[in-house]
Structure 1
Amino acid sequence: MPKQMFYAKQQVSSKLKQRYNNELGAVTMLALLRPVNTGLAEGRATKEILVIGLDLAIQEVPVELVDHIAHLRASGILFVCHRQIVGEDGSEREECALAVRRALPTKPGYQKQYRVYLGPWQPASQTRLEIDGHNMDELWDCLNAQVIFGSSDGADLDDRIARRDEIAGLVAEEAKLSKDHSRAKDAAQRNEIYTQLHKVRTRLREMGALD
């Protein structure tokens, strides 16, 4: 697939065009998943899923380019990002990382927001995808779960993502408050920080993320 097709008919910055040319090698359509070739029923939101291979000219996944390509299609895209790694001994190996752009849960009436999720790098020969679900919506969640959690279980995926994000935020807040508490010299300030710290630790224990 020519890289120009992703920006030729759009008003994009010269910087973004340059990133396409400098950060991407080949862009390849690997598969188009539909009810007819998956044996799954149609989904309410997901009609088809495109699988695109990105041969990278850099060592990290270009998140901005993934986001830009994914927003061009209403249906979901699963990205298989590929890179060549040269070891200290001069040997080369191929690695792949999966990526998806997923809509975040939003309340009715609010504008949709999206986030790009990246899976870990792994040997290309070990990169596999499971096809599971009763319809295309469930398949999309299944593929997203493999990227985000390393599991094909797509059940309650938005809730699981929200829980993971909350835990990550609380862990970061707990670490910051712990440092602030140890540095504080004023007794009143220490007590105030400790109260906040206690609330954060209590919530982490409730979520099973703290012993």
Structure 2
Amino acid sequence: MAKHRNLVELFGFASHGNEQLLVYESLENKSLDMFLFNQVNRQLLPWQTRYNIIDGVARGLAYIHLGLSTPIIHRDLKASNVLLDGNMNPKISDFGLARILGDDQTHAYTCHIAGTRGYMAPEYLSSNLYSGKSDVFSFGILILEIVSGKKNNSYYFICDKGLPDLQSYAKKVGNEGTFLELIDEDLNQNYNEQQAMKCVKIGLHCIEENPADRPTMKDVLCMLDNE
């Protein structure tokens, strides 16, 4: 994997018979899900840290989509595949399901669906089609999880909100214009309202049903970098 500050660095690998081992750099704070979905550890994720994680993941994803000679589609972007260093800087990891698009390819089909339910784009589930826009969908779910502190398939939303998942609730608040209802109550109102609104709106834009309606990661970076 090409070196980028928001991609985990691969040092080497070993193979013996059916056993294979990848050697990655050591990251002190392990994975994002160990903080985000833990009631105690989540207190170590103030708003600015969450925003920096969103920004860093966006830059890492944009790099593998746009910064290489051949685009790479991750296909399994989720909180447990975002690792955190000692300063809580994010690095995308686990490229075991990643696919390289050929020259002039914008999308491809797979014989077998692989990934994590709740993060997979609808066109991937229905027709085995993957592209940069399927990674964008996964990124949108990840944004909504980071700002809310809840898993997409959280039992909390199924029972308390009467909705099947976090994305359904996010679409509801988006339609009603009450975006800040989605923000994690554990932040105790200690967040940048403008940044929070922007993140929720970007997340909703990324999970549009039609991939043509979703932004590219270049678009996402432009939105993050501008008011």
* TM-score (normalizing by structure 2): 0.25
More strand per residue: 1 or 2? 1
Larger Rg belongs to: 1
- Which of 1 and 2 has higher RCO (CA within 8 Å, sep 6+)? 2
